[in-house]
Structure 1
Amino acid sequence: MFTGIVSDIGEITSLTPVAQGQLHRLRIACHYDRATIADGASIACNGVCLTVVASGIERDKTWFDVDAAAETLGMTTARLWDVGTRLNLERALKIGDELGGHIVAGHADGVATIRSREDLPDMARFTLHTTRELARFIAPKGSITLDGVSLTVNAVKDTTFSVLIIPHTLSVTTLSSWRAGSEVNIEVDLMARYAARLTEMT
């Protein structure tokens, strides 16, 4: 489990397609302490929970390897990642950690597309479009995770919604690079999903 509070920005340094393109082995450079990364650990990469299969240090920089399988490549923006791609990273939540965002599973539900970007003084407002299936879980003032970042929804209209990004978030995540047409990973609020399921069963 995660909180949607990004703790580092990593960069892909190598990408190797394996298993006839159905699996990508990624090496990601980061600022985490190598001693704290164990094989089998979960790290959210742009909101996608991936399992560490190896780690080490090269040129005084920590790196870790993860595998992106066919389902991940098909459902998320991982299919677009390449060497040089910067990723929002978050370590798995530990008992006792501060829950600064909201409960995030790291299981991206799909992709949202940025319709527009409005630059404001030190801030930015983004309007995004998603599928009708996911839009029904999105509500004004509700929580949503975009590229691994816990955000509050401002407004919703049909299959579009908007979020306002504050200066701190722009400075410590990759969201400052978002532009109209960019695709981002989306995970809807777990509570909204369970509430909708309960409604369907009554």
Structure 2
Amino acid sequence: MTDHNLDISVLVGSRICHDLISPIGAIANGLELLELTGATPGPEMELISTSVRNANARIRFFRIAFGAAGEQLMGRTEIMSVLKDFSKTGRIEMSWVPSDPHPRPMVRLAFLALLCCETALPQGGAIRVDQEDDQWKIIGTGSTVSLDPVLWNTLGEAPVSGNASSATVQFPLLAEMATKLGRKVEFVHDSERVEIQY
């Protein structure tokens, strides 16, 4: 993946997230208006409401992971809000340990690494983002850790070889974006734990 293609893919991600967030917000507002007018809540309303919340949570997460990133700082409160809502959409609990604000590109790397770890936890589990000095660690734990070594070994390659699917695009993006930031991605794992470092 060339720098040009990478930049284009990031802009596409930003555009999609930007264009979807408004109509989803409008649906949420419409549901609130229905409640205010005394509409009787039922399973249909609850299904729509849950779907809107899940879609909004995923778009907020994907906007950071796949969208364009300036150098603005992101604080822990904002990051935890995104991770808390995103965790509700799946079987994995996500947590963020660093207390200081961080530049958005570094947060994006962590979010991409979270998505990589998620693929290794088919039965669910927990993923924690931690930082020691300048070293970042994303640690996934669960009853079962299962990963495709061919796919995971691409994390240390830049430019990335092979083809990624839409479900695994986070792997080449993490490798390429880490390289652009002067970082080398490494990982270790056992039967109940997987850890990405950069």
With normalisation by structure 1, the TM-score equals 0.26
Structure with higher strand content: 1
Larger relative contact order (C-alpha < 8 A, sep ≥ 6)?
1
Q: Answer with 1 or 2: which has the greater Rg.
A: 2
With normalisation by structure 2, the TM-score equals 0.26
